Amino acid sequence: GLGFNIVGGTDQQYISNDSSIYVSRIKKDGAAYLDGRLQEGDKILSVNGRDLKDLRHKDAVELFRNAGYDVSLKIQRRLQPQNGPVGHRDDGESGGLPIAAFLVPGLALAAAAVWILLRYRQRM
């Protein structure tokens, strides 16, 4: 197999009003895991050029089963966490720091520099 599970389809919507196909699980040591590019929560748009839009779940599964040895997937990366059965990668990677962790100290430093510059000019 390809080493991942999918959810979704016209008959089993994973997200309300969205019949797209999503990666629900990457199987450890499977083909997708070893390749490293596919992530849980990715929306799969096409398989070997075949659009997955408006397919029933079982028809999408059949496309994956018959995809062959060299498989080309067009995906859309998940932009934000989804509610539902999509798992998380438990590989010790953090999600990173929010942008505010850099902006707030940076703005405080800039404000202090402006204040010092203005005080210095007053003394001249």
pLDDT band of 72, cuts 50, 70, 90: very high
> Does the pLDDT of residue 87 top 80, yes or no?
no
Integer angstrom CA distances of residue 60 from 50, 77, 108:
10, 19, 52
pLDDT band of 102, cuts 50, 70, 90: low
Query: What pLDDT is stored for residue 92 in this prediction?
Result: 44
The per-residue pLDDT for range 3-48, each reduced to its tens digit, is: 999 999 999 998 889 999 999 999 998 999 999 999 999 999 999 9
CATH classification number, 4-76, choose in 2.60.40.10, 3.30.200.20, 2.30.42.10, 3.40.50.620: 2.30.42.10
What is the C-alpha to C-alpha distance for residues 111 and 116, in angstroms, rounded to an integer? 9
